[in-house]
Amino acid sequence: MRAWPLLLALLAGGSAVAQVPGGAREAQLVRMVRQDCGSCHGMTLAGGLGPALTREALADKPVESLAATIYHGRPGTPMPPWRSMLSADEARWIAERLLAGFPKENR
């Protein structure tokens, strides 16, 4: 039996929407996605070494699957786990923002 359904349920935490991080943390997460994720997925998130992370490219992906990929990475690929830098709620928040069209970085 695969552990993904249990993992996804635990990652979702029983809530339909991730908690919104505070202003400073939200800015850090946006910067991290734009800079760190952008180094592989393209600085505009339109694709590079990794696939595009645009709203259009992710339209058919479940938020739980995206959050699990962010949090746990993808074994056997260059996609690292980010769980040492993010909470499960933050990974879900990022996934939700990606599906909605990721915000620009405020400088």
- The pLDDT tens digits for 28-48 are 999 999 999 999 999 999 999
Q: What is the pLDDT of residues 55-65, one digit of tens each?
A: 999 999 999 99
CA distance 91 to 20: 11
Task: Say what the pTM is.
Answer: 0.80
Widest CA span of the chain, in angstroms?
47
pLDDT at 19: 73
Percent helix / strand / coil, the chain, rounded to 5: 50, 0, 50
Q: What percent of the chain has pLDDT over 70?
A: 82
Residues 78, 50 contacting (CB under 8 angstroms): yes
